[in-house]
């Protein structure tokens, strides 16, 4: 995988550790399948959500 761009928005100041999750795993799998099938590179947008341990979204 090659990251070609990165953009972030932080919506609230974090006051504890943050866990980032990616909830669109099917997009990644589809891109892998397409790359294997076509032999061509694939580009996907991966949106992550940052949450503190109490569940508050911060980014």
The answer to whether residue 13 is domain-embedded is: no
Number of folded domains that form the chain:
1
Range of the domain at 36: 18-52
pLDDT of residue 15: 93
Measured distance CA(23)–CA(57) in Å, rounded: 14
Q: Is 4 inside a domain boundary?
A: no
Question: What pLDDT score was predicted for residue 35?
Answer: 94
CA atoms within 13 A on the CB side of 32: 6
Residue 44 belongs to some domain of the structure = yes
- pTM of this structure: 0.66
pLDDT in tens, 7-54: 888 989 999 999 999 888 899 999 999 999 999 999 998 888 999 999
- Structural domain contains residue 35: yes
The CA distance from 7 to 45, in Å, is: 11
Q: Answer yes or no: is 6 within a domain.
A: no
21 phi, psi to nearest 5 deg: -125, 150
């Amino acid at each position: 995988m090659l990251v070609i761009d990165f953009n972030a928005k932080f919506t609230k100041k974090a006051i504890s550790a943050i866990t980032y999750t990616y909830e669109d795993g099917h997009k990644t799998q589809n891109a892998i399948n397409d790359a294997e099938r076509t032999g061509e590179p694939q580009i996907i947008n991966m949106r992550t959500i940052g949450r503190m341990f109490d569940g508050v979204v911060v980014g």
